[in-house]
Amino acid sequence: MLEDLRQLLRRDQVWPFLLEPVPPAIDVSHRMILYVEGLTVSFDGFKALNDLNLYLEDGELRCLIGANGAGKTTLMDVITGKTRPDAGAVFFGQTLNLLERSEADIAALGVGRKFQKPSVFEAQTVYANLELAMKMNKGIWPTLLARLTPEQRDRIDQVLEIVGLDHRRGLAAGALSHGQKQWLEIGMLLIAEPRLLLIDEPVAGMTAQETERTAQLLTSLAGEHTVVVVEHDMEFVRSIAKTVTVLHQGAVLAEGSMAQVQSNPAVVEVYLGDSQ
């Protein structure tokens, strides 16, 4: 009893609840950052994902392609915790089971997501949008008392510059053009400093010039981050991808370089066939 009290009152230690929570480390000792195995999701009998297997190497840039309903978005929903699968496993690194965590926890672990439709917080300024997305403690008290440090301000300025919204910082995000909203979302992804970025159709609604800039940005992100891009624009995919995964009816149809995939007869038949 007394010993317990002594332990409790040790002056060289801080009580655990006063410490900032440290996110668990991501174990990438086997080079892989994401393991998706045997994933099955069905909605009312329709199998959106059917025994899907996917492995991502740490730092790679991967493109996911596939016709509508091939299961691309469902896959992202499962990885980010929005949808619970019927069967299968999703591991982040060697040790972290994503299926038993909530959306917020998964995001805090370092999985960032950009939606198909730009979904910024329209009623708030561009600056506030970035501030909300910034990597920091997202608990109630820390948020209530949060003040931006000079480093964090610099970081926001830096990201504003990268996405070219420097002169729009005080504007409501809802007043931005479609392309600018896309950029703001990309900025929000950058500032969250995720290990794994899931990006759904980044260049939809962008001009050729903007598309090119996006391609540059995404390629520069790979290496430090792992990037997964879902895109319909084949030209764009060709310009950035080293490895392409083709999904079809909820399973992986083919995987390899763009050239390999394009010459795969199964792929040609179901996907590229009708576009060429």
Partner 1 sequence: MITGGNIFTVATLRAQTALFVAVLFGVTLYASVCNLLLPQDSVFYVSTYTVTLMGKYLCYALLALAVDVIWGYCGILSLGHGAFFALGGYVMGMYLMRQIGDRGVYGNSELPDFMVFLNWQELPWYWCGLDHFWLAALLVLLVPGLLAFGFGWLAFRSRVAGVYLSIMTQALTYALMLAFFRNEMGFGGNNGLTDFKDILGFDLQADTTRVALMLCSALALGTAYLASRLILASKFGRVILAIRDAEDRARFLGFRTQDYKVWLFVYSALLAALAGALYVPQVGIINPGEFSPLNSIEVVVWVAVGGRGTLYGAVVGALLVNYAKTRFTGVMPEAWLFALGSLFVLVTVCLPKGLAGLLSRLGSRRRRLAAVDA
Given the rule CB under 8 A, which of 11-19, 64-72, 136-144, 237-245 is the region that contacts partner 1?
136-144
CA-closest candidate to residue 133, choices 151, 154, 153, 112: 112
Q: Which is nearer to partner 1, 201 or 253 (CB)?
A: 201
Q: Which is nearer to partner 1, 184 or 237 (CB)?
A: 184
Classify the C-alpha dihedral 192-115-122-233 as positive or negative.
Answer: positive
Q: Which is nearer to partner 1, 103 or 161 (CB)?
A: 103
For position 175 contacting partner 1 by CB under 8 A, the verdict is yes
Q: Which is nearer to partner 1, 28 or 171 (CB)?
A: 171
CA angle 168–173–175, rounded 5-degree value: 85
For position 28 contacting partner 1 by CB under 8 A, the verdict is no
Among 21, 53, 100, 122, binds partner 1 (CB under 8 A): 122
For position 222 contacting partner 1 by CB under 8 A, the verdict is no
For position 263 contacting partner 1 by CB under 8 A, the verdict is no
Give the integer Cα–Cα distance in Å for 120 and 129.
Answer: 7
Structure tokens at 169: 């910082």
Q: What residues have CB less than 8 Å from 250, skipping those under 6 apart?
A: 40, 41, 47, 48, 49, 50, 52, 70, 71, 74
Count of CB atoms situated within 10 Å of the CB of 255: 17
Among 60, 65, 72, 131, binds partner 1 (CB under 8 A): 131
Q: Which string of DSSP letters, residue by residue, matches 187-200?
A: HHHHHT--SEEEEE
For position 113 contacting partner 1 by CB under 8 A, the verdict is yes
Given the rule CB under 8 A, which of 126-134, 224-232, 238-246, 265-273 is the region that contacts partner 1?
126-134
Count of CB atoms situated within 10 Å of the CB of 192: 20
Q: How far is residue 117 from each of residues 163, 182, 185, measured CA to CA in Å? A: 18, 8, 10
Among 26, 67, 146, 162, binds partner 1 (CB under 8 A): 146
Per-residue DSSP letter, 155? H
Give the integer Cα–Cα distance in Å for 147 and 127.
Answer: 14
Among 86, 100, 103, 166, binds partner 1 (CB under 8 A): 103
Given the rule CB under 8 A, which of 54-62, 67-75, 104-112, 204-212 is the region that contacts partner 1?
104-112
Classify the C-alpha dihedral 99-100-104-108 as positive or negative.
Answer: negative
Please, which of residues 188-217 interact with partner 1 by CB under 8 A? Answer: 188, 192
For position 144 contacting partner 1 by CB under 8 A, the verdict is yes
Amino acid in the structure at residue 148: L
Among 47, 88, 115, 234, binds partner 1 (CB under 8 A): 115
CA angle 187–188–189, rounded 5-degree value: 90
Size of the site for partner 1 (CB under 8 A): 34
For position 82 contacting partner 1 by CB under 8 A, the verdict is yes
- Interface positions with partner 1 (CB under 8 A): 80, 82, 102-105, 107-108, 112-113, 115, 119, 121-125, 128, 131-133, 138, 140, 143-146, 170-172, 174-175, 188, 192
